[in-house]
Structure 1
């Protein structure tokens, strides 16, 4: 019986897990500043399970022109973006681009399907790209389920400042 308990625990959904992120977009000293397009997602180690957390883009551009530039978020686009029906459900994970500053995000685990994640190894990714600017991707591994609150902190070099993801059981 003791040998079965860990297997049963691994198959339980992570319904109590919550995800929160803090994202800093640095003030850049450039002649022509454009707010970045940004994507955040969680991906399993085998790259089969992908859950989008946030997508910031200009969805108000005339005739959907803002969607045309989503493919510049290259890594996100290849993993998840090109398979989505656009415009993506605005109430689920999309939002407008943001200018420099610090932003706190709290994710609705049920709405984003995060409660369906099985126990295992994952990576948190964040990618930012700007028109007439650069591109940056950061990632960090973590394990679910989390026994206690875990905060993962990353430091960007160009398009992103400090980024942290907190996973709470």
Structure 2
């Protein structure tokens, strides 16, 4: 019983110690309905850049994941990774250095709608993010479609709760960044 009290006191002190941040970043990405004859889900990447435009954190990349062919069937066509360079800025800013798939970062393309990603300061990819000024960048590219990139500037860690947003014109709808101290 004595050990348990000591452990709980130590845990309580650690959680209230200066410098321990419980900050959270929530990212909402809307993929709009596009009225075209042949619709392909967009590839989407989200990352955080420093002021010098170097990548501070990779948040997410959605692309066509390889699916195994049914047994006895001919192998499927090319790999979905072939088209990742179409996310031009993401590719140049670090995407080409990643071996896909990346656990916790990459996932399948998403359907039309609003998709929310949440990250907290104590976990990857924000765990090593130093105090400072950053830009969240969301980029989308679609086969037989266009490409679009939206930046949102913010300070980390947030001093107060805030919601920042940007609106796309074609491939992206509303992109919202919600910061909680």
Provide TM-score, normalisation by structure 2: 0.79
2:110 matched to which residue of 1?
Answer: 98
Secondary structure at 1:59 match in 2: coil
**Structure 2 CA distance for aligned equivalents of residues 134 and 112 of structure 1:** 31
**Where does residue 162 of structure 1 map in the other structure?**
174
- Select between 112-121 and 63-72 the one with higher mean Cα deviation: 63-72
Match of 1:41 among 47, 57, 78: 47
**Aligned mate of 2:79, from 41, 60, 65:** 65
* Residues 143 and 14 of structure 1, relative CA distance in 2, 3 Å threshold: farther
The whole-number CA distance in structure 1 between the counterparts of 2:180 and 2:37 is: 41
Please state how far the C-alpha of 1:50 moved relative to its aligned partner: 2.3
SS of corresponding position for 2:148: strand
Secondary structure of the 2:79 match is helix
- 2:87 matched to 1:81? no
Which residue among 31, 35, 48 is the counterpart of 1:29? 35
Please list every run of 5 or more consecutive structure 1 residues that lacks an aligned counterpart in the other structure. 1-11
Query: Any conservation in 2 of the 1:22–1:104 contact (CA below 8 Å)?
Result: yes
Question: Secondary structure of 2:159's partner?
Answer: coil
Greater length-normalized contact order (CA 8 Å, ≥ 6 residues apart): 1
* Number of residue pairs aligned between Structure 1 and Structure 2: 156
Bigger Cα Rg? 2
Q: Distance in 2 between matches of 1:58 and 1:19?
A: 26
Paired with 1:72 and 1:153, the residues of 2 have a C-alpha distance of 24
In the TM superposition, residue 125 of structure 1 has moved relative to its aligned partner by: 0.3
d(CA) in 2 for partners of 1:13, 1:56: 33
TM-score (norm 1): 0.84
CA RMSD across the alignment: 1.9
| Counterparts in 2 of 1:87 and 1:13: CA distance versus 1, 3 Å | farther
